[in-house]
Amino acid sequence: MAKSVDFSAYDAESFYDEVFDSQGQPRPEAQLLVDSINGLPPGELLRRQEAIDQAMMRMGITFAVYGDDRGTEKIWPFDIVPRIVGSQEWRTVEQGLKQRIRALNLFIDDIYHDQEILNDGIIPRALIENASSFREQCRGLNPPRGVWVHITGTDLIRHADGQIYVLEDNLRCPSGVSYVLQNRLLMKRSFPGIFKACRVRPVIDYPSGLLQTLQSLAPETYEPTIVVLTPGVYNSAYYEHSFLAQQMGVELVEGRDLVVKDGFVCMRTTEGFQRVDVIYRRIDDDFIDPKVFREDSVLGVPGLMEAYRNGRVALANAPGTGIADDKVVYAFVPEMIKYYLGEEAILPNVETYVCEVPEHREYVLSHLNELVVKPANESGGYGMMIGTRASADEIKKFDELIRKNPRNYIAQPVLSLSRVPTLIDGVFEGRHVDLRPYILYGEDVRVLPGGLTRVALRKGSLVVNSSQGGGSKDTWVVADSDEELTGLD
């Protein structure tokens, strides 16, 4: 007999749950979904999850894990229960993200020009000058309209107090939006009809929004040629690079496909050289131009930075933006918002200890078994330590690392991330999640309604990164009752 799966035995325990309140009742925006799942015939939910898994396999929705010799590409784990965000809460998130990205852009422009925020002592000068992500070569660059960061993915978490906090900003080559689009496509097939009933805001127009953002950067007004520049098939996000290029209808290129000719960047085609106007580069600063950054890079394009500096090609994101997602610099974003915009931060930071600051360092070293320690420029969950789960040897190792190079480390309290019911071995269990919304900054700032909900599939784990055993869920942002929804996907 087919197994019935519903929420009757689901226990949110003492955690903040995104679908059920503390009394075990569905939150208002989740009521229809809960009723829908509870009303499915026995075996139907498991059948739909299995159909999604098979579709993921057929569609080649994959990612890669560096250093894993079991194969280059892995299927992206996906769970069928979405995270749901109410309209009022989303408005606050959207306003906070727009505020944040405006301040971060002003900061980057300032850092590579007059450095007024350093001159005024708001951020210690040494923290910037000693940052491995600071690029002296970018001094005096002038991106179109002064915007340096055109595509951002900002990680948010909700703590047990119910407050949403910014965990970190991803300003260099933020990944994951392709999975947002594919997750939605598969959920639409699995739950036809419920999206309209739940008034879920669409995400399908992200590729056209990205294309418009890139078009707005073109140095001249005619129809520009745009390309996506990838490091190649061995990059962990290669699937996304190819997906976005295909969705936008532009060429996916590698460095060897481009050449600087007569001061302009050109693409090799079967009909000869074709000028390129805008490059959505998914290659880190160090590798984009061996004449300016790493001499041994074979991924980039020699002469690209000179063409960029002369305004003959546009780059998204601009080189040098990594200075603003250094995790040490992150600690100062609320001060940036106040300094550049004269406003209080709408979305708070997680409390952060900067190990370069002596009194912070002293506290961190004496509380390592209580804190999460992160290196300044790592991503994907690599190089971090969760003190509450660390062995004595790990704590000793991080004590030594911090003392040796305090500039490279921050520490934060261990937060109790909110959870969402997740289908585990045929039953619902709570699993911790975060949320990465995506922000586009061209002629204006626009925030994709929703984003990538990442879920820690291992029981009790707080690490949601796909490279560390995480998966994803669809994110449903519910529209206001009077909001007209067009182009429902």
Least confident of 17-21, 227-231, 295-299: 295-299
Indicate the SS3 state at residue 217. coil
Strands 226-229 and 278-281: parallel
Please tell me which residue, 31 or 298, carries the higher pLDDT value: 31
The residue type of 2 is A
Between CA 405 and CA 327 the distance in angstroms is 14
Q: For residue range 329-368, list pLDDT tens digits in order.
A: 999 999 999 999 999 999 999 999 999 999 999 999 999 9
Contacts of 484 (CB under 8 A, 6+ apart): none
Helix and strand numbers (H, E) in the chain are 15, 22
pLDDT at residue number 115: 97
Between CA 224 and CA 384 the distance in angstroms is 42
Torsions phi, psi of 138, nearest 5?
-95, 0
pLDDT at residue number 86: 94
pLDDT at residue number 100: 97
Q: For residue range 161-205, list pLDDT tens digits in order.
A: 999 999 999 998 888 999 999 999 999 988 888 888 899 999 999
DSSP state letters, 409-437: EEEEEPP---EEEEEETTEEEEEEEEEE-
Confidence check: pLDDT of 57 > 90? no
pLDDT at residue number 58: 84
Confidence check: pLDDT of 138 > 70? yes
Least confident of 201-210, 327-336, 466-475: 466-475
Q: For residue range 438-464, list pLDDT tens digits in order.
A: 999 999 999 999 999 999 988 888 878
Confidence of residue 382 (pLDDT cuts 50, 70, 90): confident
pLDDT at residue number 376: 86
pLDDT at residue number 67: 54
Between CA 174 and CA 284 the distance in angstroms is 11
Confidence check: pLDDT of 21 > 90? yes
Mean pLDDT for the stretch of residues 198-215: 95
Mean pLDDT for the stretch of residues 410-421: 94
Q: For residue range 65-105, list pLDDT tens digits in order.
A: 555 555 556 677 899 999 999 999 999 999 999 999 999 99
242, burial (CB in 10 Å: exposed 0-12, middle 13-18, buried 19+): middle
Taking the CB of residue 9, how many other CB atoms lie within 10 A of it? 8
Q: For residue range 34-53, list pLDDT tens digits in order.
A: 999 999 999 999 999 999 98
pLDDT at residue number 222: 76
Q: For residues 305 and 289, is the Cβ–Cβ distance under 8 A?
A: yes
Interior CA angle at 178 toward 177 and 179, to 5°?
A: 90
Find how far residue 214's CA is from the centre of its chain.
18
Between CA 5 and CA 27 the distance in angstroms is 20
pLDDT at residue number 466: 67
**Which single residue is written with the structure tokens 């060429």?**
251
pTM over 0.85: yes
Q: For residues 202 and 476, is the Cβ–Cβ distance under 8 A?
A: no
Confidence check: pLDDT of 305 > 70? yes
Contacts of 249 (CB under 8 A, 6+ apart): 211
Confidence check: pLDDT of 30 > 70? yes
Taking the CB of residue 87, how many other CB atoms lie within 10 A of it? 16
Least Cα distance to 60 among 179, 153, 206, 175 occurs for 179
Between CA 404 and CA 392 the distance in angstroms is 18
Q: For residues 467 and 460, is the Cβ–Cβ distance under 8 A?
A: no
Q: Which runs of E-coded beta strand occur in 251-322?
A: 251-253, 258-261, 264-269, 272-275, 278-281, 314-316
Mean pLDDT for the stretch of residues 234-253: 93
